Amino acid sequence: MRTQVAIIGGGPSGLLLSQLLHRKGIDSVVLERQTRDYVLSRIRAGVLEWGMVELLREAGVGQRMDAEGIIHEGTLLAAQNRTIRIDFRKLTGKAVMIYGQTEITHDLYDARDAMGGVVIHEAEGVTPHGLDSDAPHVTYVKDGTEHRIDCDFVAGCDGFHGVSRKSIPSSVLKEFERVYPFGWLGVLSETPPADDELIYAIHERGFALCSMRRADLSRHYVQVPLTDRVEDWSDDAFWAELKRRIPEHAAQRLVTGPSIEKSIAPLRSFVAEPMRWGRLFLVGDAAHIVPPTGAKGLNLAASDVHYLYNGLLAHYQDGTPEGLDDYSRKALLRVWKAERFSWSMTNMMHRFPDQGDFGQRMQESELDYLEHSTAAQTALAENYVGLPY
Ligand code: FAS
Ligand code: PHB
């Protein structure tokens, strides 16, 4: 088989890139190691920057998002029973969209099907070859048979644990990492949201987040030690802990219910440089990870896709290499700003085991400054709604 762009990974990055390319007549094949149901069973992000909203519309997959998504013009930060509202609309003129990553993946799969896009599931042993040549190819095994796809370029959209990043020689690749000494225990429940907007709360017992997917579907998180296991947490224990950490008014109105998904995610900041090697381009979680405190993970995948898509478009339509040659530099500039924002939000809103009294005063004064400074609130707001692509 031959294609123009071989895409490794059928998550949001791979599917969105494939969809955008196909609409411009550029051929791709997506190789996904899991089943479609498995990919669709993952509960992940929930907040979309406006840039991602516009990119999904450009890809022709924004209809359900526009019909069912919820536009949020602000968010709430809570500490010591005081609540600070960050007014995105007033401070930046922009908003964010609440629409789950699971729904986006559904919409992208539906669009791929409708256009006859090629997505090969349960592709095992996907291996890129000849990345430093002019004729790369990818091999994989499906139902016990090995297959080969010759291509012009390979997009590594295969997430943090994928094969793409590992295909870059260690002499070329530089990795930056910060692992946080806690995780997020997340619960999805068919209950109404705690408030009209998201609540990010810091309490002496730790961080909590009240988020949502729909008016009847909520997503909540509490910070937990890395030693905790999800089976250590009953639903009742989760709800009791969440109520301790969020403001009283929210705790009183909180409707609890059975968890329909419960999991613990570790938190890390990670960046791999460069995001290109020869004919391979790393996209999304394959190249970078952020702690979800800034709601940037999925949104960074979207801006990577935007840069790579436009670089490939210029290559195939105008024969110009600049977009591809500049991909890594351009993407990393935005990645590092999002890494900084996510790291700073995580430092401000979590209890660190070793932070000490001085560290606690730093957190308290940062929140106090935020509460009384329009400049500080504007800085947070413009990073949260998304810096320009
Ligand atoms: P993904 O990991 O989504 O997709 C990669 C795909 O590649 C997967 O389907 C995988 O099966 C496939 N793959 C891997 N190796 C392969 C191989 N060798 N061959 C073929 N296929 C392979 N972001 C937020 O903004 N907010 C959040 O609240 C949030 N919560 C998260 C919670 C968890 C538990 C995790 C893990 C991530 C969370 N994220 C969140 C980040 C998340 O949304 C990612 O940013 C997003 O999924 C990135 O999309 P992709 O780059 O497509 O990577
Ligand atoms: C979510 O709804 O899952 C969510 C929202 C905002 C975040 C992290 C997760 O910062």
Average pLDDT over residues 357-378: 96
Question: In this model, does residue 215 exceed pLDDT 80?
Answer: yes
Please report whether residue 89 resides in a domain. Answer: no
Q: In what order do the strands lie in the sheet with 70-72?
A: 47-48, 96-98, 70-72
pLDDT score recorded for residue 88: 98
Whether 11 is in a domain gets the answer yes
- Separation of CA 285 and ligand 2 centre (Å): 16
Ligand nearest to the CA of 299: 1
Q: Is the pLDDT of residue 202 over 90?
A: yes
Query: β-strands 47-48, 96-98: how paired?
Result: antiparallel
Asked if 168 and 190 sit in the same domain, the reply is: no
Q: Is the distance from the beta carbon of residue 13 to the nearest atom of ligand 1 less than 6 Å?
A: yes
How far does the centroid of ligand 2 lie from the alpha carbon of residue 45, in Å? 6
Q: Helices in the chain by DSSP H: which ranges?
A: 12-23, 36-41, 50-58, 63-68, 88-92, 101-115, 235-245, 248-253, 297-318, 322-325, 327-349, 356-372, 374-385
Which residue's alpha carbon is nearest to atom 6 within ligand 2?
Answer: 295
Protein residue closest via CA to atom 4 of ligand 1: 11
> What local confidence, expressed as pLDDT, does residue 113 receive?
97
The verdict on residue 88 lying in a domain is: no
Atom of ligand 2 at shortest range from CA of 295: 10
**Is residue 82 domain-resident?**
no
Residues 212 and 262 in one domain: yes
> Ligand 1 centre and the CA of 43: distance in Å?
10
Q: For ligand 1, atom 40, which residue shows the shortest CA distance?
A: 45
The percentage of the chain sitting over the pLDDT mark of 70, rounded to a whole number, equals 100
Could you list the residue range(s) of the whole structural domain that residue 15 is in?
5-72+96-177+268-345
Confidence of residue 229 (pLDDT cuts 50, 70, 90): very high
Q: Tell whether 47 and 158 lie within a shared domain.
A: yes
For 56-108, how does the pLDDT look when each residue is reduced to its tens digit (9 = 90+)? Answer: 999 999 999 999 999 999 999 999 768 999 999 999 999 999 999 999 999 99
Contact 128 CB / ligand 1 (< 6 Å) = no
> Cα–Cα distance between 345 and 182 in angstroms, integer?
14
| Same-domain status, 15 and 123 | yes
Is the domain of 187 the same as that of 245? yes
Q: What is the DSSP letter of 256?
A: P
Q: What mean pLDDT do residues 322-350 have?
A: 98
Quote the pLDDT of residue 43.
87
Q: Averaged over 101-118, what is the pLDDT?
A: 97
Residue nearest (by alpha carbon) to ligand 2 atom 10? 295
**Residue of 16, 40, 101, 105 with the most ligand 1 atoms within 8 Å of its CB, for mutation:** 101
Residue 315: pLDDT band by 50, 70, 90 thresholds? very high
Tens-digit pLDDT profile for residues 166-188: 999 999 999 999 999 999 999 99
User: How many domains are contained in the chain?
Assistant: 2
288 shares its domain with 368: no
Please report where in the chains the tokens 């705790």 appear, as a residue. Answer: 251
* Domain presence at residue 210: yes
pLDDT in tens, 132-169: 999 999 999 999 999 999 999 999 999 999 999 999 99
Decide if 151 is inside a domain: yes
Task: Report yes or no on 87 lying in a domain.
Answer: no
Average pLDDT over residues 311-323: 97
Looking at residue 80, its pLDDT comes to 78
Same domain, 121 and 205: no
Whether 356 and 339 share a structural domain:
no
The pLDDT mean for the chain works out to 97
* 20 part of a folded domain: yes
CATH of the domain at 320: 3.50.50.60
Please give the pLDDT value at position 344: 98
| 264 Cα–ligand 2 center, Å | 14
3-state secondary structure of 230: helix
pLDDT recorded at residue 357: 95
> Is the same domain home to 200 and 168?
no
User: What pLDDT sits at residue 82?
Assistant: 87
Ligand 2 contacts CB of residue 193 (under 6 A): no
Residues with active-site annotation: 72, 200, 292, 296, 384
CB atoms inside a 10 Å sphere around CB 252: 9
Q: What is the pTM assigned to this prediction?
A: 0.97
Count the alpha carbons within 13 Å of 337 in the hemisphere toward its beta carbon: 18
Residues 259, 274, single domain; the answer is no
Same domain, 129 and 197: no
CATH assignment of the domain containing 375: 3.30.9.10
User: ∠ at Cα 38 (139, 221), nearest 5°?
Assistant: 125
Same domain? 321 vs 173: yes
